[in-house]
Amino acid sequence: MNPTDTASSEKLVFGLVTGQPIDVRVADDGRLITEQGDSTDEWVEVEPLVFEHVEEDSTLMFRETDGEVTHLLDGLSAYEQIGYHERLSVQGQVAAAATLLGLTGLVGWPVARGWRRYRGGDSPPATVTRARWVAGAGVAGLLGFVLAFVALSVAVAAMGRPTLFDRPPAWFEVVFVVPTLGAIVTAGAVAYAVRAWVRGDWSLATRVHYSVVVIAATILYWLLQYWNLLWVRAG
């Protein structure tokens, strides 16, 4: 379970700074076990959906919706049920893999093109070149967002103004235009990939690699949307 988050970009703060998730399981003896970081606690049920700590004066409560547990209440903190794909550890691994795959296009395509020119080889078809420019721009949008985000954060902090981690000024939202445009461009790259497979254009290896790069970029933009780092928020 993760702490309930906001509908703004501060969701990232809750997730990375104050959002250490709680893993909940039931032991063989019926006791409830919660694990958060290096801390492990045991609880016993005193009434439906209400548990007391076996050693400390602490109470844990759960909230149900339509018979399914959706929230955990621990004192003043509220946590909501999340899926496997929403775990920070899982998303971190997926983001790292997707970034490496995306870079094989952003960096690999220009390098391969330069190598072909050096060797005097044939250039790829014009449709391949256009499609790669579109997909490359989509991946570059991700890199541009990271650079713009860091630069603006440093500039705002230098002015003694709040940052993302402490109620940023309203104009800070302009930085989220960059990945939003990148996401739109990536949608165009998806269209190129679909058309290539439907028509059987390009070589099989070219189609596969192009699709891998586009899928990687799409995943990264989905993660930005999940953390409310696009202009249009997930909520």
Across residues 81-95, what is the average pLDDT? 80
% helix, strand, coil for the chain, step of 5: 55, 20, 30
pLDDT digits (tens, 9 = 90+) for 4-62: 555 555 555 555 545 567 788 888 888 999 887 778 999 999 999 899 999 988 898 98
E strand or H helix at 110: helix 108-119
Residues 6+ apart with CB under 8 A from 172: 152, 156, 163, 164
Q: Do the Cβ atoms of 53 and 43 come closer than 8 Å? A: yes
User: What pTM value is reported for the model?
Assistant: 0.73
- Name the residue ranges covered by the structural domains of the chain: 22-81, 86-226
**Does 170 have pLDDT greater than 60?**
yes
